[in-house]
Amino acid sequence: MSVLLQTSKCIFRKPFNNTFCKYVFLRKNSDVPKKFITFDEVVAQRRAEAMRSVVVQVNSDSSFNELYGYCSKYASIKDIHHYKNSGGEHFMVIEFASEDNLKDVLKSCSSHNKDHDVISVQSPFLWFRAAVGNKEKFAATGKKLAVKNGTEICNEDVLLEDILNCETVSDQIQLLYEKTTLNDLSIRLRYIVARQLEMIFNSLYTNVKIQPFGSSVNGFGRMGCDLDLVLMNSITEEMGAASRRLVFQEKRSARQLELAGALLELRVAGVARLTRILNARVPIVKYAHEYAGLHCDLCYNNSAAVHMSELLWQLGELCARARALAVLVRRWAAATGLTQPHPGRWLTNFPLTLMVLFFLQRTGLLPSLNRLVSEAGKEDIRIAEENVNCTFLRDLNKLPADSYEQNDDDLQTLLFKFFEFYSQFDFQEKAISINEGKPIRKPNSLPLYIVNPLEQSLNVSRNVSYEECERLRLEVRNAAWHLESCLDGKKSDDWGILGLIEKKSSRGLKKLLRVGNSHRLVSMKDLFSDNDNEPSVEGIRSKMQKFVKTDKEVDTSVTEMKSEMSKEQKSGKMKFKNSQTASAVYRIRRDKII
């Protein structure tokens, strides 16, 4: 994420998620620099950025000059960023100097399709048609792409190797955070996807707003996380004024998401694989946005969820260590299987993040939510749907400095203390409440109780089963032991956070690769000869046996691989080229495979 830093003369952009950048300054003429910017200000800047941006599909990143030259004829360009979607298609995000510039560009667009099934719709997603006739020549401007391949997720093997080479565990945690946290372009794109829907809905409704929430905006998101969106009826105070005597006749409907689903399916370019989950407590429409390469969840009138994201974002602003720690803990939970990509009787990232924030409150790094509520003024009053009170201090500059960051522990110490804290936590009797900032008595016997900060009568981990809670207790103890064992200073292959964030199933193989063992690698050629696309199980097994004989040290990894193979063989599901073992070997060191 980046913010616009404004001085009396100019506006410039500064990244603020790639370092421990604690303070953000937003300065108006002659103002004293502010230590913290508000969530609303960040959102307003991002929305404004999206309102002057388009996404253009191009042939490749070398289309830059032509696209720049062509668009400059219509409007002044601020920046162009390049990315590829999962299908390898190329896109450029163009930010123009103003919203009016964008309107001029949209006026110049054409609809390419004469098919009678297509009725064109205005949207910030465009494509760049090949020039007709003689190619126009554009003079070199010296301008360059602001970023190339900007949404590419860091290669896992490179990342793990870089982590291995870090000096300290704190450096490892910081590196993981910097390399995996949502970057500027990914956030821009998310706001443009929201803007695309807003444009379509606003051609039907008086005034709706589509607002991203969740990890896309709360400061805890990783590259590639899903995009949570909320469709909100955004009636301004002016529009709602009783003095306006002429009022629109309106139609009541509790089925707004049904229409939204149909619109998305039929009218929104890029939307694919749409599913409706309308009977849930929070009904949603799920879909993939193919141009943006995102998985999206759209819900309706859920401003409490946006305020929840605001709260999490604020706490992350108060203590940058919170974000780095939460990113690591989320990764660890995914690697141990405590969290899963689909919903079930286990933890999810949101309650897990609350657990991190709660722990940081216990260490004096963060204030309790009650403290933020007690410091709130009239301007902070927010009442969400169903009268959910979302009032808490918004301007963190007003918060007394001694109410946060009262601890100098480095990330390594904090991480160890986090695991130790939850190893000793009395889950049976106590609930976790970031409102109080201290454990409270559990109001019922559910295995895990994490108070919903904005609706305190609710438990955000009510779905977690007894077994999953036990697993959590076991895994935090394992993690604490692992970190303690790293204190002797010897750097083994699963040193520091590597032993926490690598999936156990792939650890054996990676170990084999890390300790200078590349010569022992199972080569793809050894496994599958060129003229033998579907080799026999026996063939592979005998080749694996050869490796067992070559070196006893790799015993574990090979046994793991063999058991994978025999399991698959028994279930009759073995697909050689795509088998987990083969692809893992291939993926781990493509460059080393002969």
Please give the residue ranges that form the binding site for ligand GTP (CB under 6 A).
213-215, 218, 221, 225-226, 228, 305, 308-309, 348-350, 452, 460
* Shortest distance, position 252 Cβ to ligand GTP, whole Å: 25
User: Of the listed pieces 101-109, 215-223, 230-238, 517-525, which binds Mg ion according to CB under 5 A?
Assistant: 215-223
Give the burial class of 325: count Cβ atoms within 10 A of its Cβ; 0-12 exposed, 13-18 middle, 19 or more buried: buried
Q: Binding Mg ion by CB under 5 A: which of 226, 410, 436, 568?
A: 226
Q: Binding Mg ion by CB under 5 A: which of 215, 336, 339, 435?
A: 215
CA angle, 81 then 85 then 87, to 5°:
145
* Shortest distance, position 451 Cβ to ligand GTP, whole Å: 11
User: Of the listed pieces 23-31, 218-226, 237-245, 317-325, which binds Mg ion according to CB under 5 A?
Assistant: 218-226
CA angle, 270 then 271 then 277, to 5°:
165
Q: Which does 283 bind (CB under 5 to 8 A by kind): Mg ion, ligand GTP, none?
A: none
Q: Which residue, 170 or 218, is less far from ligand GTP as judged by CB? A: 218
User: Of the listed pieces 71-79, 213-221, 393-401, 460-468, which binds Mg ion according to CB under 5 A?
Assistant: 213-221
Distance of alpha carbon 205 from the chain centroid: 30
The verdict on 214 binding Mg ion (CB under 5 A) reads yes
CB atoms within 10 A of CB 114: 6
Q: Which does 218 bind (CB under 5 to 8 A by kind): Mg ion, ligand GTP, none?
A: ligand GTP
* Shortest distance, position 228 Cβ to ligand GTP, whole Å: 4
Helix axes 555-570, 504-514, angle to 10 degrees: 140
Q: Which residues are paired to 209 by β-bridges?
A: 232
Q: Binding Mg ion by CB under 5 A: which of 66, 95, 184, 228?
A: 228
Distance, in Å, from the CA atom of 334 to the CA atom of 339, rounded to the nearest integer, reads: 5
* Shortest distance, position 221 Cβ to ligand GTP, whole Å: 6
Count, residues near Mg ion per rule CB under 5 A = 4
Q: Which does 183 bind (CB under 5 to 8 A by kind): Mg ion, ligand GTP, none?
A: none
User: Of the listed pieces 200-208, 226-234, 278-286, 563-571, which binds Mg ion according to CB under 5 A?
Assistant: 226-234
Distance, in Å, from the CA atom of 303 to the CA atom of 555, rounded to the nearest integer, reads: 54
Q: Which does 348 bind (CB under 5 to 8 A by kind): Mg ion, ligand GTP, none?
A: ligand GTP
Residue listed under structure tokens 């190339």: 148
Q: Which residue is nearest to ligand GTP (CB)?
A: 214
Q: Which residue, 92 or 355, is less far from ligand GTP as judged by CB? A: 355
The three-state DSSP-derived secondary structure of 24-49 is CCCCCCCCCCCCCCCHHHHHHHHHHH
* Shortest distance, position 463 Cβ to ligand GTP, whole Å: 8
Q: Which does 349 bind (CB under 5 to 8 A by kind): ligand GTP, Mg ion, none?
A: ligand GTP
Question: If you write DSSP's letter for every residue of 184-232 in order, what string do you get?
Answer: HHHHHHHHHHHHHHHHHHTTTSSSEEEEEEGGGTSS--BTT--EEEEEE
Give the burial class of 202: count Cβ atoms within 10 A of its Cβ; 0-12 exposed, 13-18 middle, 19 or more buried: middle
**Residue 19: strand, helix, or coil:** coil
Distance of alpha carbon 588 from the chain centroid: 24
Distance, in Å, from the CA atom of 263 to the CA atom of 452, rounded to the nearest integer, reads: 33
Q: Which residue, 198 or 228, is less far from ligand GTP as judged by CB? A: 228
Q: Where are the alpha helices (DSSP H) in 454-497?
A: 466-485
Q: Which residue, 49 or 228, is less far from Mg ion as judged by CB? A: 228
Which region, left, alpha or beta, applies to residue 62 given φ > 0 means left and ψ of -120 to 50 means alpha? alpha
* Shortest distance, position 334 Cβ to ligand GTP, whole Å: 9
* Shortest distance, position 147 Cβ to Mg ion, whole Å: 24
* Shortest distance, position 593 Cβ to Mg ion, whole Å: 36
Q: Which residue, 2 or 353, is less far from ligand GTP as judged by CB? A: 353
Q: Which residue, 289 or 510, is less far from ligand GTP as judged by CB? A: 289
The verdict on 224 binding Mg ion (CB under 5 A) reads no
Q: Which of 287, 305, 300 is nearest to 231 (CA)?
A: 300
The verdict on 61 binding Mg ion (CB under 5 A) reads no
Residues that bind Mg ion (CB under 5 A): 214-215, 226, 228
